Amino acid sequence: MTPIENEGESHRTVLISAEDISIKFGRRPILDKVSIKIHRCEIVTLIGLNGAGKSTLVRAILGLSHLFAGKVSQMNGIRIGYVPQHINRDSILPMTVKRFLRLGGPASREGLETVMEEVGAGAILDTAVSSISGGELNRILLARALLRRPNLLVLDEPFSSVDASGKIELYGLVELIRDRHQCGVLVVSHDLHFVLTGSDSLICLGKNDYCSGGPKDIVSHPLFRDIFGYQLSEQFLLSRRELETKK
């Protein structure tokens, strides 16, 4: 990890930047020369086919996987809040939500209640983690990430166990958090609605190559069309037009 100079509060501050990273599992190449940059206050969405290496790229950004080539640089003083896809929460390990949140670091009761309110989780601090619903778990994981006062939030398919309406609400919450905490966000998502309306920049991983750009540019890219299909791109253009006419 190479440090990047912290340029203060500017929106153009680069939080993390991966340059030409390649990763192999054994002899099988997973990522080949992928570059990605995340700025402050920017929501970057990662999409791609199953097995294209989305989670591997996320792990590389987090510094959890061994790079075959390339480098990942982080801003000095970066604090990453990570929301994993799922965690081991079976009832073998007795643990209340409160205790789980404090595993990330010490926090006062008031601090915990504030963050629980922010993510819209109810009064479940004293409930066992094994007995809360999937949607509540998603919010709890988000809360634990927020307790670290992150300047980069990394979410790996964060709301997979929430129904459609819950998803819209939670993605809205992500945008709210970005505005409130002035942090960068990297999110792996399959949710087309959020991908196209919520994100500032997109990275689309294919089997052998990848493309990136803003939501407007990327819809015309053949790789994106491969993944979401021609129809979906049309649907996006429609919804985009709707949005513009509303304004």
Partner 1 sequence: MSNFYSVGVNWKQKNDINFIDDNNDGFSRRARIVTELLDDFFVRAMIGGIGAAIVAGPVGCFVVWRRMSYFGTTLAHSVLLGVALGFLLDIELIFAVFIVCMLVSSFLLLLERQRYLSVDALLGVLAHAVFAAGIVVVSFMETLRIDLMGYLFGDILSVSQTDITWIFVTASISLGLLIWHWRSLLSFTVDQDLAAVEGVPVNYMRALVVLLVSGVVAVGMKIVGILLVVSLIIIPAAAARRMSVTPEKMAIMAAIVGVISVVLGLFSSLEFDVPAGPAISLAATAIFALSFIIPTRFISR
The residues of the shown chain that bind partner 1, judged by CB under 8 A, are 59, 62-64, 80, 82, 84, 87-89, 92-96, 99-100, 103-105, 128, 144, 148, 154
- The dihedral through the CA atoms of 103, 107, 113, 115 has a sign that is negative
Give the integer Cα–Cα distance in Å for 118 and 107: 15
- Using the minimum distance from each CB to partner 1, give the nearer residue, 24 or 59: 59
Nearer to partner 1, 100 or 194 (CB): 100
Q: Residue 236: CB partners within 8 Å, gap ≥ 6?
A: 192, 196, 215, 219
Inter-CA distances, 229 with 49, 188, 222, Å: 12, 19, 9
Residue 63 or residue 214: which is nearer to partner 1 going by CB?
63
* Residue 87 or 243 having the CB closest to partner 1: 87
Instruction: Tell me how far, at minimum, the Cβ of 52 lies from partner 1, in Å.
Output: 19
Alpha carbon 189 to its chain's center: 8
The Cα 24–Cα 82 span in angstroms is 23
* CB 83 to partner 1: min, Å: 9
Least spacing, CB of residue 80 vs partner 1, in Å: 6
Residue 181 CA: distances (Å) to CA of 76, 95, 117, 140, 238: 18, 29, 15, 18, 32
Q: What whole-number distance in Å separates Cα of residue 243 and Cα of residue 197?
A: 9
CA 65, 54, 174: angle at the middle one, nearest 5?
105
Nearer to partner 1 by Cβ, of 177 and 223: the residue is 177
Smallest distance from partner 1 to CB 93, Å:
5
Minimum CB separation from partner 1 for residue 125, in Å? Answer: 13
